[in-house]
């Protein structure tokens, strides 16, 4: 399998001279098995150039887009995804199922007025929507299996795993660690006291969510993880729904994963600051049985 990063930023695209090396586009990753279907994680602004590349290849394509959740930075590239406007393509969107809204409505809304002067009626592709019950999976093609697990981030956040040819890639974003609070519908206006005891039912739910995620990452060759924070940033804003590298390392080690990719970079983090952050992370975990490397826009990781 071949994994290519098209967008690696969290929150908001950050063009400019200070983000040239790591990249300024929001979340989008392609997993390439060398055959159809095309597998894409998220549709941040990085999906625009991926879409141009796919559209240039022509032909009828089967494309599966796994939406981690519908916060803007994970869907804002969709109006500019050219395969949607090409006849013959079959495009399937996936997300975690929630009763109070439909994935179809969310995806349609993103390209309509007042945000864009377009409509899903402009799409020429055959577009489908699949909402996944917690923990659901599917065989996307012969020998190509997707599985999922709920994350600790408001509303519909899901992690996805792709298995093919005995290799596995897991996409884990956005998520807070599973230590202090469950993030779902409620707005948490300020950072809670991290030293306060966690209610047993909350601790129980968090522990089940974490166990499921560790199981999803079990033996994975590559785990791409929301590590937007440093530990200190997490302690300041634990209610924002993001992790630090320490949280990702813990999950990867428990799961016996081989390679952790630092992902969903903070928008304000410059290239030089990213270099220092990576040096710090690599120094801290150098004696572990886990490779760690950064997501960089344009980077390709081959898993053979």
Partner 1 sequence: MQITFWGVRALVPSPGTETTVTGGNTLCLTVHGEGGETLAIDAGTGITPWGRSLLSGPFGRGQGELDLFITHPHYDHIQGFPFFVPAFIPGNTIRLYGSNYCKRTMEQVLESQMNPIFSPIQTLKNLNSNLLFPEVGPGGILSVGTLGVRLETLPHVTEQAMGVRVTEGGRVLVLAPDVNYPAGEVPPEAVALYRGADVLVHDVRSHRPGLERQHARETFDGRDAVAAAAAAGVKKLVLTHFHFDSTDAELDALLDGLGHDHPFEIELAREGSTLWI
Percent helix, strand and coil across the chain, each to the nearest 5 = 30, 25, 45
The interaxial angle of helices 200-216 and 245-255, nearest 10 deg, is 60
123 alpha-carbon distance from chain centroid: 25
Q: Does 43 bind partner 1 (CB under 8 A)?
A: no
* Pick 4 or 33: Cβ nearer partner 1: 4
Kindly state the smallest distance separating residue 299's Cβ from partner 1, in Å: 14
Q: Does 151 bind partner 1 (CB under 8 A)?
A: no
- The only residue of 32, 62, 80, 218 in contact with partner 1, by rule CB under 8 A: 80
Name which of residues 99 to 128 contact partner 1 (CB under 8 A): 101, 106, 113-118, 122
* Pick 21 or 259: Cβ nearer partner 1: 21
- The only residue of 126, 134, 211, 268 in contact with partner 1, by rule CB under 8 A: 268
**For residue 166, how many other CB atoms are within 10 A of its CB?**
8
192 alpha-carbon distance from chain centroid: 26
Kindly state the smallest distance separating residue 265's Cβ from partner 1, in Å: 12
d(C-alpha 78, C-alpha 14), whole Å: 18
Name which of residues 187 to 206 contact partner 1 (CB under 8 A): 187, 189
Q: Does 40 bind partner 1 (CB under 8 A)?
A: no
Q: Does 15 bind partner 1 (CB under 8 A)?
A: yes
Kindly state the smallest distance separating residue 25's Cβ from partner 1, in Å: 5
First-to-last alpha carbon distance for the chain, in angstroms, is: 7
Q: Does 87 bind partner 1 (CB under 8 A)?
A: no
Kindly state the smallest distance separating residue 224's Cβ from partner 1, in Å: 19
* C-beta of residue 6 within 8 angstroms of C-beta of residue 24: no
As a three-state string, the secondary structure of 110-176 is HCCCCCCCCCHHHCCCEEEEEEECCCCEEEEECCEEEEEEECCCCCCCEEEEEEECCEEEEEECCCC
Kindly state the smallest distance separating residue 19's Cβ from partner 1, in Å: 6
d(C-alpha 164, C-alpha 35), whole Å: 11
Number of chain positions touching partner 1 (CB under 8 A)? 42
- The only residue of 4, 27, 43, 45 in contact with partner 1, by rule CB under 8 A: 45
Residue 252 CB-density burial (10 A; 0-12 exposed, 13-18 middle, 19+ buried)? buried
- The only residue of 13, 83, 177, 294 in contact with partner 1, by rule CB under 8 A: 13
Q: CA 162, 166, 167 angle in degrees (round to 5)?
A: 50
- Sites of contact with partner 1 (CB under 8 A): 11-17, 19-20, 23-25, 45, 48, 70-72, 75-77, 79-80, 101, 106, 113-118, 122, 154-156, 185, 187, 189, 240-241, 267-268, 297
């Amino acid at each position: 399998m071949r994994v290519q990063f098209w967008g690696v930023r969290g929150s908001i695209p950050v063009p400019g001279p200070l983000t040239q090396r790591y990249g300024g586009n929001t979340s989008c990753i392609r997993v390439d098995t060398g055959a159809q279907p095309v597998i894409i994680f998220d549709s941040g602004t990085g999906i625009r150039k991926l879409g141009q590349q796919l559209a240039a290849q022509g032909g009828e394509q089967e494309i599966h887009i796994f939406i981690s959740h519908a916060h803007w930075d994970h869907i804002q590239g969709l109006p500019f995804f050219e395969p949607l406007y090409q006849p013959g393509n079959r495009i399937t969107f996936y997300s975690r199922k929630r009763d109070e809204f439909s994935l179809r409505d969310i995806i349609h809304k993103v390209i309509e007025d007042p945000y864009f002067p377009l409509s899903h009626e402009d799409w020429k592709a055959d577009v489908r929507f699949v909402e996944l019950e917690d923990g659901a999976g599917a065989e996307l093609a012969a020998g190509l299996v997707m599985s999922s697990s709920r994350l600790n981030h408001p509303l519909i956040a899901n992690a996805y795993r792709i298995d093919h040819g005995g290799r596995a890639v897991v996409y884990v974003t956005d998520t807070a660690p599973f230590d202090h609070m469950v993030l779902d519908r409620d707005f948490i206006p300020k950072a809670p006291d991290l030293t306060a005891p966690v209610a047993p039912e909350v601790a129980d739910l968090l522990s089940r969510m974490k166990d499921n995620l560790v199981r999803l990452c079990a033996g994975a060759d590559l785990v791409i993880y929301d590590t937007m924070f440093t530990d200190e940033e997490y302690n300041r804003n634990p209610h924002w729904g993001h992790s630090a590298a320490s949280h990702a390392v813990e999950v990867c080690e428990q799961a016996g994963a081989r390679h952790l990719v630092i992902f969903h970079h903070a928008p304000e983090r410059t290239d030089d600051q990213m270099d220092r952050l990576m040096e710090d992370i690599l120094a801290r975990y150098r004696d572990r049985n886990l490779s760690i490397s950064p997501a960089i826009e344009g980077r390709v990781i081959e898993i053979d």
